[in-house]
Amino acid sequence: MTLVQWFIFFLVVQLIHGFGTWKLYKIAGRKAWEAFIPVYNAVVLMKMINRPWWWTILLFIPIVNLIMFPVVWVETARSFGKHTKLDTWLTILTLGFYLYYINYTQDVQHISERSLKPRTEVGEWVSSILFAVVAATIVHTYFIQPFTIPTSSLEKTLLVGDFLFVSKFHYGARAPQTTVSFPMVHDTIPLLGVKSYTNKPQLPYFRFPGFEDIERNDIVVFNWPVDTVRMFRDRSGKHYQKPIDKKSNYVKRAVGIPGDSLKIVDGKVYINDEALVLPDRAKPQYSYIVQGKGQGFDLRNLAQRYNITDPVAW
């Protein structure tokens, strides 16, 4: 979706919210027009449901807002006396449109000093889990994310399967482009083995300012644009085209930066006609071709002599 399309979508959402809650705003002692003003209506709503104003920010964070919208819908219904399990399920299953029913057909009163403590032990567990998922999703998406090494190209520095934490804010975190996704997973839902996201709608590319630039020899994590890893398929064998932020994560060393000229001569990397100087921990890998002299040389005999089980791979 383009920026214009997203802006139109945003305005439509404000109209849906306004027409579904304006009477509730009046019952709470506010003005009806306040339900239609973008952003401001959310700040006012947080006061009405006795929640902090900064919850408004969470409504605009991709992925996090998928959790926060149902929470706000339920909190709104409860602030007007609709706190039964049936009310909660109807609010969630109707994607918040149950508020229209409350707004236009129910004679309700606003509970300004509503207790925020869950009424049941299950409710308390749900609230704690939701808070933990929201906090972890924000950290995972914009600050630090765990990865495992998928390939052996850096095995002299990092081994396949190594677990590491990667800073996202040093180079500037990229905002998610995929708007509908299961939180805290990449392209598959664990155990189920199915897609964890929808391809549409997609947000425009945006990256937050970073604290430093990528330098030569930095080890970086990125989404491989071509995604040559085995195609992602579900259990039925159907192939899915991945959005860029859901493509496979790669860990590589950045040997060059924009503007550099790169060439490889006799296995050595040259940047701007100068041999690349690697850090002490970085150990280059070399491959060798062995050719025996005379007749009767058999690589398999040599493998058996030195107890090499796979001479082809060796």
Q: 32-80: per-residue pLDDT in tens?
A: 999 999 999 999 999 999 999 999 999 888 888 888 999 999 999 999 9
> What is this structure's pTM?
0.70
Where on the phi/psi map is residue 40: left (φ > 0), alpha (ψ -120 to 50), or beta? alpha
Q: What is the pLDDT of residue 38?
A: 92
Decide which of 261 and 186 is more confident: 261
Residue 310 banded pLDDT, cuts 50, 70, 90? very low
pLDDT one-digit tens code per residue, 124-163: 787 788 888 888 888 888 898 888 887 777 776 778 878 8
Helix and strand counts by DSSP (H, E) for the chain: 8, 7
In this structure, the number of other CB atoms found within 10 A of the CB of residue 36 comes to: 18
Q: Using the structure block, give the residue that is written with the tokens 């990256």.
A: 207
Pairing of strands 163-167, 144-148: antiparallel
pLDDT one-digit tens code per residue, 162-175: 888 889 888 888 88
